Amino acid sequence: MSLLLDMAVKADSSHLFPTILITSDNRFDIGRLATEQTLSESPAHVLLSESDSTKNDIKVFRVATWLAHIISTGYIPTGTKVEIGNVSEILQINPWETARLGFPLRTNEKFSRIVCLEGYAAYGFGDRAWKGAGMFKVQMPASRRHMLTLRYADEYVRPDVGVLTDLRRENSPWFRDMAFTTHLTEMFYWHENFTRRMAARRREGAVFMENDWTDMLETSVRIAVGKEGYGEPSHDYSAQPSFLYSSLETVFRLSWNERKIDRHFQRVHLYNSNPVLFINYGLGSYRFDNDDNYHLSGHLGVMVRQRANLGIGGTLDWLAEVGLTLGNTPLSRLHLFEGNQSYAFDAYRFTLMYYGQYAADKYLLLHAEWNGRGCLFNRIPWVQRLRLRELLLFKLAYGTYDQKRTLCMTDNSTTSSLSVPYVEIGAGIGNILRIGNIYAVWRLTHHDNLAPWWAIRFRLQVET
């Protein structure tokens, strides 16, 4: 008899699914089992009762299934109608809260297959304040996926995270604003600019509608109203007080020959070698506390993401994005290029750029990473046993903004335009000990600021 576990587990910053295989083979004396078997016992029951090792295998199977559920969904099964999670909300370390302890819960299929209740309460020890969120989700009675979500949240948000930013890591069950490795190492980088820039308190009520129209086309519509503020007036957003806002966001997602898995209000898009296209447009209005006038703005963004299979030449992961903002908008609602002041490499953040260092109302960015899959290392005797991977990367950002149309913008802000393209290149070795990559990264432009022009970074990643 053989026991086999085959679970799909999400890899860090990747859309492939590595496989965990747990196998065990046990042999039995079939003749003896046949003579000792009673009418009340099935052959399977006799097999299980005859082998302690088989019982142990079943325990391993259950534990592995439990762990795989946490890794692939971000929720901890309890055996009841309620699960613990999302696990990313249990403990967070950041400069504006120091440490945040949360208690997140979600109902599962045992409670209802068409309704899901989810929420969390969290306390920040640094700001000594409670935060939280609550969601009500319902699956409409239709042959395709049509899901309605009501959500209210009072929490800190990162100004450099937008709709398309989240969609870059749409398969991540835990974090979407940055890679898991980046979150692990971010807490060790305490920097004054970092502390001041990334603390936006937002209280928001929103309605989401997610729809499948064909096997290729998905859409989501989000209507939100809320208030956003930045706490102390000493940082770069000193001239931007709290403001009220309302917004409408629409996203079109178009893919070809892509497999999808739905697991209780969670969708996972399985790997395919074809490009995935995202189109995002939105409208918004803003009113600052010290202003009686409402200001209107709109934005349009287009993003293409692909993992191209190059055969014996390995794979090429690339993402290209362009965007445009119209009208008057707060500085925090421009496109803030995603910097990275941690000691980790992040596929979709600029390695040697500070947080909030550059903003744009018209922008272009490109992330590309080539993985040789051992096309060179596998030809070297002895080295081939290590199964190392060759890595090359290229990152580019370009964009400008009109300061006159940026609400409450002041001359003393350190956030600037990228009238000269920002370019990073790098090389690395992947699949080290099967769990990590090491990169050497250089910044080719913008050497006139305090950010480093080269660095060594690492990433935890399971080779797939």
Domains annotated for the chain, with CATH where assigned, are 2-70 (no CATH), 140-168+193-460 (2.40.160)
> What pLDDT shows up at residue 29?
47
> What pLDDT shows up at residue 240?
56
Contacts with 424 (C-beta within 8 Å, 6 or more apart), sequence order: 350, 351, 352, 393, 394, 395, 396, 441, 442, 443, 444
CA distance 96 to 91: 14
Task: State what percent of residues in the chain have pLDDT above 90.
Answer: 57
Structure tokens at 351: 């390695």
User: For the chain, what is the mean pLDDT?
Assistant: 84
CA distance 348 to 3: 39
- Tell me: pLDDT of 392 over 80: yes
CA distance 105 to 61: 25
**R_g of the chain, CA atoms, integer Å:** 25
CA distance 179 to 68: 19
- Tell me: pLDDT of 59 over 70: yes
Placement of tokens 């600021």 in the chain: 449
> What pLDDT shows up at residue 195?
45
| Closest listed residue to residue 194, CA positions, set 182, 206, 212, 180 | 182
User: Which residue type occupies 238?
Assistant: S
CA distance 301 to 51: 60
How confident is the model over 286-340, as pLDDT tens digits? 998 878 889 999 999 999 999 999 999 999 999 999 999 999 888 888 999 999 9
Q: What is the pTM of this model?
A: 0.85
| Closest listed residue to residue 231, CA positions, set 359, 97, 416, 355 | 97
Structure tokens at 142: 């239709």
Task: State what percent of residues in the chain have pLDDT above 70.
Answer: 82
pLDDT band with cut points at 50, 70 and 90 for residue 109: very high
Give the relative orientation of helices 52-73 and 43-50 as an angle to the nearest 10 degrees.
100
> What pLDDT shows up at residue 174?
85
| Closest listed residue to residue 308, CA positions, set 278, 260, 279, 272 | 272
| Closest listed residue to residue 129, CA positions, set 90, 100, 157 | 100
* SS3 (DSSP) at 113: coil
Ranked by mean pLDDT, the top range of 51-60, 181-190, 198-207 is 198-207
Instruction: Provide mean pLDDT across the span 262-282.
Output: 91
CA 286 distance to own-chain centroid? 28
Do the beta carbons of residue 51 and residue 28 sit within 8 Å?
Answer: yes
Instruction: Provide mean pLDDT across the span 124-145.
Output: 93
Decide which of 203 and 54 is more confident: 203
**β-strand 329-330 against 406-407: which pairing, if any?**
parallel
Contacts with 183 (C-beta within 8 Å, 6 or more apart), sequence order: 175
Q: Is the peptide bond before 56 cis (omega within 30 degrees of 0)?
A: no
CA distances from 437 to 102, 424, 431 (A): 31, 18, 6
For the CA atoms of 366, 168, 176, 238, what is the dihedral angle to 10 degrees?
50
CA distances from 357 to 193, 400, 408, 456 (A): 10, 12, 17, 21
